[in-house]
Chain A
Amino acid sequence: MESVVEHLLPRLKEITGFIYPNEIELHWSILVVVYPYITGLVAGAFILASLVKVFKVKEVQPTYRLSLLTALAFLLVAPLPLLAHLGHPEKSFEIFLTPNKQSAMAMFGFVYAWYLMAVLLLEIWFDYRRDIILWAQEETGPRKWLHKVLSLFSSDISERAVRFDRKAVQAVTIIGIPSAFLLHGYVGFIFGSVKANPWWSSVLMPIVFLFSAIVSGIALVLLIYMIATPMRSKQIDMDCLDKLAGFLFYAMIVDFSLETLDFIHRIYESEESIEILSELVSGKLFVSLVVIQLLIGMIVPLVAIALVKLFRTPAELRRLLYFVSALLVQVGIFSTRWNVVIGGQLFSKSLRGLTAYKMSIVGVEGLLVSIAILVLPFLILLALFKILPPWKEARHEFGPPTGSG
């Protein structure tokens, strides 16, 4: 047994003040940081796609299908970090068999299944249906069959049928927006509802989670668009990019205001926990919270995009600034998740001391597995690009079919 707990021994030395003896082991590791990060990207990418559909923002049309596929790729991976962190992943189906209806976590499976089946897959299917049928008609061999199966052997591409598809997409989008809010707001609730933990326990938690999700989702789609387009030797649509950066900017302003509100609220109320929390923020969390999350992940990109908006900047420079900003935003949002999940476990519930977290590199709950989980959605996305190309030229405009993408 020594080997199982060996890693905890050096931890004893890093404790400051008093912690309950059972608190030495930090229970939610980096995997639980990855989980809300991923669901945030899903919700954010989907909400971006919905902006196109519901508010008919024409400029960002080129990213509509891209956003949907991105959301799908990340959603498929979302349960992995959760499963991997369980002590008994093989029993996880109990969540479906005997869910405790009072438990926020038990709802995960249902929220997830709803979002995957009733929202994302439906919307993608209806949106692509006509194209899939036309692709299948032009293709031969396995691809033909793949697309035939994906179209669920439907073949009606009459105007009436296509009009129905469009209506269906609209309807699903309208259900989809609250669902996306639910998916990620719910993740915030998992933390926000833990009254034992003053760092987590806050009604604002789901809302802060949501807006940071929108921020990260838009930034991700922007990054993918900027990387994928030149790789296909196509021109980046600057109108689209400017609009995306604009959305990103406003979402960040809201996110920033919410977080500031939370901060002021805590300081003003100065509850029992304030002392240990300020010790945490000014000590063990200083770099990841103040420097990375706030400065590098929020203020720098905000200023950069604001400058671009204020001054006329050449397209080349704009692209560079957008790209760097979106990258920094990703880093910032990841550390936001880190600061919530890990930060919330670094202080003792006795409010008298701090513990430490040392990430393992190998091992199921280690860094390598987390990186693998974060890379996986991109591989899935590449495959999706092959099967369901989201690009404009692959789309069949009405009229005689042109070559496939």
Chain B
Amino acid sequence: MNRLLASIKKELLLLSRDRAGLAMLFLMPVFLVLVMTLLQDSTFKKLNEKQLPILIVNHDADTFGINIVKGLNSANFFKVSEDNNLSKKELEKQIEKGNYLIGIIINENSTNLIKNSIKQKIQSQFPEEVGELFEIDGNKTDQVKVEIFFDPVLKNSYKQSIMGALKQFSAMVEAKLMFEIYSSLFDELLEIELKPTENFSQLVFFDEKYAASDQNLIIPNSVQHNVPAWTIFAMFFIVIPLASNIIKERQSGVSERLRTIPGSNLIGILAKAKTYFIVGFIQAILMLMIGIWLLPVFGLPSLQIGKNGLSLLFVTIAIIMAATSYGIVIGTIANSEQQSSIFGSISVVILAAIGGVWVPNFMMSDLMVNVSKISPLNWGLNAYYDIFLRNSGLYDVLPSIGLLVGFAFVCLLISLYYSRKVKT
């Protein structure tokens, strides 16, 4: 135990003298989390808006136009602004500026066009002997065109939901118009006055529920994403000072000297693991504190860490285990400090990129979401999301913890195998 303490003390001393290493472990993530959170704040806000801002230019002051606007307004999902004096150019500009995510133009005469099409269809059902039932303006039978503009940041699923809503509303309007036309026809032909119907819009009621376990439905804000993401990133940068420490010991002959000292075979590696455990914990606590107290100073929301302290603790431990083991395996396999620093930093940056640290999973294509699943940083990040955003308990984050710990074991096994091989 004394030896272990002596080794930990030594590792801490060495680390305290490694200015570049300290900067990398503590200053870099603080800087990154500040910059990235601020940079991505507005993007996340847009994505996160509960109500999608829609700008409508309605040139059809008749059944169709009015009902579409009414329909969109009544769906809580959208925040509808109407400005009928805007030109197409001006509307596009508003979308480009990011003031609205969706722009819709309803063209003049849309209602009349629909009516004409319906009348034509009814007319065609009757034998020719009946003669003309309606006055139809023969030229105005083109299809009604509704123009829609999307902000490119808009997720596909949102596009689909707005399209779905529009199709639903126009089907309703069509049905309503058809009903009206038939009614008036009955009036004329049978000379019966039909009572007006009001509500036939919803014969089927759709009960919408969100499955909370669906990863894509909950979108974090910039703080909720960036703080855990860069914390994990920083913890994985443990790899570089740790690996270079191992290599320095090997190259200087210190590790051979230690092997001639009785009973110290495993102590060295154990001490390193424990030391970097301490470092990882300090990093995690530092970053959480920044999220909770410093970011609000910059006008950002404060980090919400959920209520599950135990899950948070275990996930953090699992991430540090994965990171230290990864450092140990790189330190064991690499031939030089330079090699380990280059390979270590590049691999961590790549794993971070595919793991959703830079660009979060929910902004990725389905292909990249699948690719991201191979990154240990992604396992950690998803576990943090679970805890922060969904209050997940230990049981829910167990799969992520399992993956991280499994990764750690694989790394340690490889190092063990490799160091055995090198000795003889």
The answer to whether A binds B is: no
* B residues with CB within 8 A of A: none
* A residues with CB within 8 A of B: none
